[in-house]
Chains A and B, each alone.
Chain A
Amino acid sequence: MKISKKSNSIFLVLITLSFVLTSFGILAAEKAIVLKGSTTVLPIAQPCAEVFMDQSPNIDISVQGGGSGVGIASLIDGTCDIGNSSRPAKEEEIKTAKEKGVEIYANIIARDAIAVIVNPANQVEGLTLDQIKDIYLGKISNWSEIGGKDQAIVVVSRDSASGTFETFNELVLKKEKLRPDALMQASNAAVATTVATTRGAIGYVGLGYVTDKVKAIKVNNTLPSKETVNDNSYPLARPLFMYTNGQPEGTIKEFLDFVLGAEGQKLVEENGFLSVQ
């Protein structure tokens, strides 16, 4: 009885000690940066954070997804240091931020082109912006109307709440209502898979998600590529953001300088995005 009690208390002490030690361990890595937000920005943020941490071991960076809205909301709440977003902050977000004393500062870290993709079996090589708009609004519903086979068009879109959709909505749909029976997919990868497995499908994804299983078509006679985005001839391009509270300072500035520097921008290009330099 006595012995078991003693061992019990030793056990308790050990547990308490280990808790105390781990909490000290967390405190020791003082310089921690938390990134949260857009899944589109994730493939840039992740490798940049890894390489940066290798170079400066005393800085700890954690990268989380969640979506553009989550990124900006967390920045406002103070639960992250950098809010990743694939869309510009909205007026209501900037207003809430001001009320809470947060100044949303935009850092454009890369550019992304939205590629319009079809199934490889489709003969259509290019469409104009107006044709794409009419397809997404439901005015054109068969490929034969635009030079393809007699086949119904299956319209695939990103979810109407996503940053990618918002850009597409602004640049192509001009805020008109998408046909209600369009397939709404939750991620870029899901859009690509659906288009790859559906013969009559048309969809749009970030340039980094174009593989040989889908075919990117010309938009207004231009294929999406680094060159055509940089000389502004490709019409569907958008900036990607890392929002900070005010102008970045200290370790956050160090990290953003790295992302915007030669090494970071190389990682941006390796992952299928376009550098801002």
Chain B
Amino acid sequence: MHKKKEKIIRWVFSILAFSSLFFLVGITITLFTSGLPVFREKGILEFILGKEWYPTYNPPAFGILPLIMASFLVTIGAVMICVPLGVGSALFINELANHRQKAILKPIIEILASIPSIVYGFFGMVLVAPCLQKIFHLPVGQTAFTGSLVLGIMATPTVCSISEDALSFVPQSYREASLALGGNRWQTLTRVIIPAAGSGLSTGIILGMSRAIGETMTVLMVTGGAAIIPTSFFQPVRPMTATIAAEMGETVVGSIHYHALFAIGLVLFLITLLFNIIAEIISRRYRLKLGLGR
């Protein structure tokens, strides 16, 4: 009786666990079947390296290079903001903060992670963009930099909590050994703890990056949406995600424009997949290094 029950439960849970595999396969197939028709008509190189995005004109132009570059520009900017903020806060929480500070800081950072992205978008559009416009005397406040700033704040909790995990995994004995050898706190931090947690920290940074590059609503609202190849941080840009979100609802289903939007999704999917694979490889290496691997 018991064995039977156990078997059933085992089956149920393995089905639940494998269902995400099923979803992944479904999404991948949809992306490929709906995205590939555009390559047949336009060619992969023309699509990826084309400099003009005029999907609704006659004849239409489907070049997504400006969109790819916009995504990367905004993401790089976001990384420059979320890495110092996230890793710095993790170091403070893990190494310097006393119990009370920890008890305040950790929940606050977690709340930052739970704010819906559309709220960040509002905040960026109504507050940050006009402010930046005034401070830097720009003709317009919705720029790649505005997007980077808001995304950087959004990605900070991801970077911070993973970095904090990585730091707390560093065995106490490492710390004690370093101090016993006469190292001061700074030396222990920079030469022992950060190298030991290094791969964990980089995992956090890469996951923060994939969060930033995949974010949609916020960039749609604050980056301006001009499909040009950016030459400066203070220009309006149009990232890939914003393009899909803005145009999918309005296009004719089954048209070449529709397939082009799926193809952008495919490109984006491959980029974030690459990020995740890199993060996975690094974190595996890190577990082995600390003797935590199996």
Contacts and interface: CB of A to CB of B under 8 A. Distances in A.
Interface in A164-189: 165-166, 169, 175, 177, 180-186
19 contacts: A65-B249, A70-B249, A70-B250, A90-B252, A93-B252, A96-B254, A154-B140, A160-B57, A161-B56, A161-B249, A161-B251, A177-B54, A181-B226, A184-B225, A184-B238, A186-B242, A186-B245, A190-B221, A197-B126
The 6 A-B pairs at the shortest CB distance, nearest first, are namely A67-B249, A184-B225, A161-B250, A161-B247, A73-B253, A67-B250
A240 interface: no
A69 B250 contact: yes
Contact of B140 (A67, A183, A186): A183
Nearest to B122: A193
A180 B228 contact: yes
A264 B234 CA distance: 47
Contacts, number: 99
Contacts of B20: none
Interface of A: 65-70, 72-73, 90, 92-93, 96, 152, 154, 159-163, 165-166, 169, 175, 177, 180-186, 190, 193-194, 197-198, 200-201
A183 B142 contact: yes
A274 B72 CA distance: 44
B235 A161 contact: no
A193 B125 contact: yes
Contacts of A200: 139-140
Interface string B221-234: 10011111000000
B151 interface: no
A154 B224 CA distance: 11
B141 interface: yes
Contacts of B220: 186
Contact of B130 (A73, A154, A163, A197): A197
Given A183-B225, A190-B221, A68 B140 contact: no
B57 A175 contact: yes
Interface of B: 52, 54-58, 125-126, 129-130, 133, 139-142, 220-221, 224-228, 235-236, 238, 242, 245-255, 257
Given A160-B55, A184-B227, A197-B141, A66 B249 contact: yes
A36 to B, nearest CB: 10
Nearest to B238: A184
Given A161-B250, A186-B245, 10 more contacts: A66-B249, A92-B255, A152-B139, A160-B247, A161-B246, A180-B52, A183-B142, A186-B221, A186-B225, A186-B246
A197 B133 contact: yes
A197 B131 CA distance: 10
Nearest to B255: A92
Nearest to B52: A180
Given A92-B255, A180-B228, A185-B225, A69 B55 contact: no
A159 B125 contact: no
A43 to B, nearest CB: 16
A93 B257 CA distance: 14
